[in-house]
Amino acid sequence: MAALYRKYRPLGFDDVVGQEAVVRTLRNAIDGDTVRQAYLFAGPRGTGKTSMARILAKALNCERGPTPSPDTTCPICVSIANGSSLDVVEMDAASQRGIDDIREIRDRVVLQPAEGRFKVYILDEAHQLTEAAWNALLKLIEEPPPHLVFVFCTTDLAKVLATVRSRCQTFVFARPRLSDLVRVLRRVADGEGIDAPDAALSLVARGARGSFRDAVSTLDQLAAATEGAVTVQAVLQLLGAVEEEALFRLGDLVVDRDTAGALTLIEELSEQGQDLGRLVTDLLEHLRHLLLVQHVGSVPESLPVTDETRERLREQANQLGEPTVLRLIDLLAVAVEDMRQGGDPRLPLELALVKVTRPGSDLSREAVAYRLEQLEQRLAAGHGQPPPSGIPDAPEPPQPAPAGAPEPPSLELEQLQEAWQRTVLPALEEKSIPTASVLREARPSALDADRLTLEFPASAAFHRQLAEEPKNAALLRDALYEVTGRRLAVVFELGEQAGEGDAEEERPRSEDEVYELVKQTFDARDVES
């Protein structure tokens, strides 16, 4: 028994779905007697390239033709559909790709058609032909016998030689819309007596990623597994897709900043056997839908979702802020990259959820703009004003917070110590490279409320003096605010002597030594007068 995708492949131009531009052009060429000697059909797998090539062969050789509407029932059309026609030769260029195979074609094309008017050669996966094979074909493609037509089908147009493309009429097959896939699946289901609701067919169509063959093959497998009664749950189990309810639950947990709930849900899905890699890709698609709704202002008709899902998308897009959606998309990109390298996406997925639900725990510079934007939104909601950009040289006594002002982000000494070399100093370096080099020897040693103590080695007294200068101290406080979101007063101290060997370092330096140290610190050089 034939597979369903072969049984229901289109037999005529009227049966083709989703390639209206290609059908219209070929029909007009047949009507106007302007059929070319070579065609190049390019596009993703399963979009109907080989089927279209067979339909073109039928239109040229049909007993009623050449005609744009072959009857598909005459002996010639039936033999072409069955692959038994002597005048239509299909070759797999993946296995017949050498120059000897092309020489065999050249020897045969001089023969007249056995039944129809044209000999049609269909070469599938044509991009796999060798360069020598293509060069052997060039003259034949450009000046073929009047009864010869070539149709090259390829999934990688870029690999086809430019000299070949210039001799062919090229058609690029587009991926079908979701509605087109569902229409084809409904026709197959009705023809085979398969009981499948529209929601199940929509899931199958989404999983096919624009391939008719993949969609119909999946429906064929589902019908066998469920004895003709396809359900939404059966589709989810077969495809490994994530149920929409789980995606909306994750979105709600992010809205509520429920870190524990999000991690627990990931654990539950993992225990149920859910593919976490598929969860990442489905969550990214869900976030894309939310982003579209936020920018368009409504749910686009092109989104492959039901009416109930549309309403929930609209509600969640209003609850989940745009910065949060963008931040989560950026964080999930790390999980996608790990999957491409063959890694486990679980840890990057969990880290993404922790960072987006607890922004204060993330001191990476990528999180700075996100956290500051959140702070500004909360200030605007409380009718407050954002803090001034300038910072006084000396710390002012703390003022009582106005009513409705948000609390500054929480900060621990361990977090700041971890972020010092990785984040704070690079942020300071963007403002002033000399200041960053002065502070590179320091390390955070104490944090009391909003008072940070930086400790220099006992041998770096001169660097400490430079750091205490008002300009350098102000630049450091700006960098700390960018990273932590808090205004910190900074105190500089020297560490204790490590031993007698350091005493030599504490002796008064000569003028020449100070001069050399300044040159090294600020990367300076002598300028001749």
pLDDT, tens only, 153-201:
999 888 888 888 888 999 999 888 888 888 899 999 988 888 888 888 8
Compute φ and ψ for 30, nearest 5 degrees: -70, -40
Q: Where are the domains of the chain?
A: 4-172, 178-239, 244-365, 413-521
- Three-state SS at 492: strand
283 Cα distance to chain centroid: 11
**CA separation for the pair 327, 234 (Å, rounded):** 34
Residues in contact with 518: Cβ distance below 8 Å, sequence separation at least 6, in sequence order:
524
Element (H, E) at 419: helix 413-419
Q: Helices 212-226 and 178-192, interaxial angle, to 10°? A: 40
What are the tokens at 231? 């359900």
What are the tokens at 419? 């972020």
CA distances from 438 to 289, 418, 513, 523 (A): 48, 19, 17, 11
What are the tokens at 116? 């129809």
Q: How high is the pLDDT of residue 368? A: 57
Residues in contact with 137: Cβ distance below 8 Å, sequence separation at least 6, in sequence order:
102, 105, 129, 164
Q: Are strands 38-42 and 148-154 parallel, antiparallel or unpaired?
A: parallel
DSSP state of 162: H
CA dihedral 91, 43, 214, 6 (to 10 degrees): -40
- According to CATH, what is the number of the domain 413-521? 3.30.300.180
Q: How many CB atoms lie within 10 A of CB 204?
A: 26
What are the tokens at 163? 């000299």
Q: How high is the pLDDT of residue 369? A: 55
Beta bridge partners, 152, equal: 40, 123
**CA separation for the pair 93, 518 (Å, rounded):** 71
Residue 376 · residue 406 · CB < 8 Å: no
**CA separation for the pair 176, 21 (Å, rounded):** 12
**CA separation for the pair 71, 127 (Å, rounded):** 32
Residue 276 · residue 268 · CB < 8 Å: no
What are the tokens at 430? 């963007």
Q: How high is the pLDDT of residue 298? A: 82
DSSP state of 63: T
Tens of each residue's pLDDT in the chain, 529 residues: 568 888 888 888 988 888 889 999 999 999 888 889 899 999 888 888 999 999 999 999 888 878 888 888 888 988 988 888 888 888 888 777 777 777 777 878 778 888 888 889 998 888 888 888 888 888 888 888 888 899 999 998 888 888 888 889 999 998 888 888 888 999 999 888 888 888 888 888 877 878 888 889 988 888 888 888 888 878 877 877 777 788 889 999 998 888 899 999 999 888 877 888 888 888 998 899 898 888 888 887 767 666 677 888 888 888 888 888 888 898 888 888 878 887 788 888 888 888 888 876 665 555 555 556 656 666 665 544 444 433 334 444 445 544 444 555 667 888 888 888 888 888 888 888 888 888 888 888 888 878 889 898 888 888 888 888 888 888 888 888 888 877 888 889 888 765 444 444 445 556 666 666 666 655 567 776 5
Nearest to 149 by CA among 44, 40, 281, 243: 40
Spatial strand order in the sheet of 148-154: 88-92, 119-124, 148-154, 38-42, 169-172
Q: How high is the pLDDT of residue 54? A: 92
Per the document, the length of the chain is 529
What are the tokens at 155? 């999934």
Q: How high is the pLDDT of residue 505? A: 47
Residue 521 · residue 438 · CB < 8 Å: yes
Nearest to 212 by CA among 18, 68, 401, 435: 18
Q: How high is the pLDDT of residue 408? A: 59
- According to CATH, what is the number of the domain 244-365? 1.20.272.10
* Residue keyed to tokens 């956290």: 371
- According to CATH, what is the number of the domain 178-239? 1.10.8.60
Beta bridge partners, 151, equal: 39, 122
Compute φ and ψ for 474, nearest 5 degrees: -65, -40
Provide the H-helix boundaries in 97-228: 99-108, 131-142, 162-165, 178-192, 198-208, 212-226
DSSP state of 470: H
Q: Are strands 169-172 and 443-448 parallel, antiparallel or unpaired?
A: unpaired
pLDDT tens digit sequence for 360-411: 666 555 555 555 665 666 666 554 444 443 333 444 444 554 444 455 566 7
Q: Provide the CATH topology of domain 4-172.
A: Rossmann fold (3.40.50)
